[in-house]
Amino acid sequence: MSESSTAPGSASAVAHGRCLCGGVRFEVHGPLRPIIYCHCGMCRRSGGHFAAATACAPADLRLLAAGALRWYRSSATARRGFCGTCGSQLFWEPAHGGHLSIWAGALDPPTGLTAARHIFTAEKGDYYAIEDGLPQRPGA
């Protein structure tokens, strides 16, 4: 995930995204996974509610502006990427590096994505119900 010489808006990009202030901008040049809703305590604590994330292969992400990108090792198994200027949460990356999750709200519309399932539902907040009919898993 390094800066790329790929021009913004290139025809091969399937998605574009950024943080709130624009200090981190990116493109994805490959398929995106359907949205997974994560209800784990870390996602809820770091973002104020459950997370909605898609994912791509790490090599498919092209950072167009990364000067404000910061990483926080949130556990022994993952780190979270965010903008150090505006605080927007953008990425979640497992230590094994097999994929890179992207917060769906960071993507420019239209995304064309749909939700697939809920994970870590055993940790969901007590202030909401999951009633959309999608599959639910108590853990990952």
- Is 27 among the domain residues? no
**Residue 108: exposure state from Cβ atoms within 10 A (0-12, 13-18, ≥19):** exposed
* CATH label of the domain that carries residue 72: 2.170.150.70
User: Using one digit for the tens of pLDDT, what is the confidence trace for 49-108?
Assistant: 999 999 999 999 999 999 999 999 999 999 999 999 999 999 999 999 999 999 999 999
- Is 95 among the domain residues? yes
**Residue 45: exposure state from Cβ atoms within 10 A (0-12, 13-18, ≥19):** exposed
Per-residue confidence (pLDDT) for residue 12, from 0 to 100: 65
* pLDDT exceeds cutoff 90 at 28: yes
- Is 92 among the domain residues? yes
Instruction: Tally the domains of the chain.
Output: 1
- Is 108 among the domain residues? yes
User: Using one digit for the tens of pLDDT, what is the confidence trace for 9-22?
Assistant: 444 679 999 999 99
> What range defines the domain where residue 44 resides?
33-123
- Is 24 among the domain residues? no
Report the C-alpha gap between 8 and 60 in whole angstroms: 14
Q: Is the pTM of this model over 0.75?
A: yes
Label residues 50-60 b or e (16+ Cβ within 10 Å = b). bbbbbbbbeeb
Per-residue confidence (pLDDT) for residue 7, from 0 to 100: 42
- Is 111 among the domain residues? yes
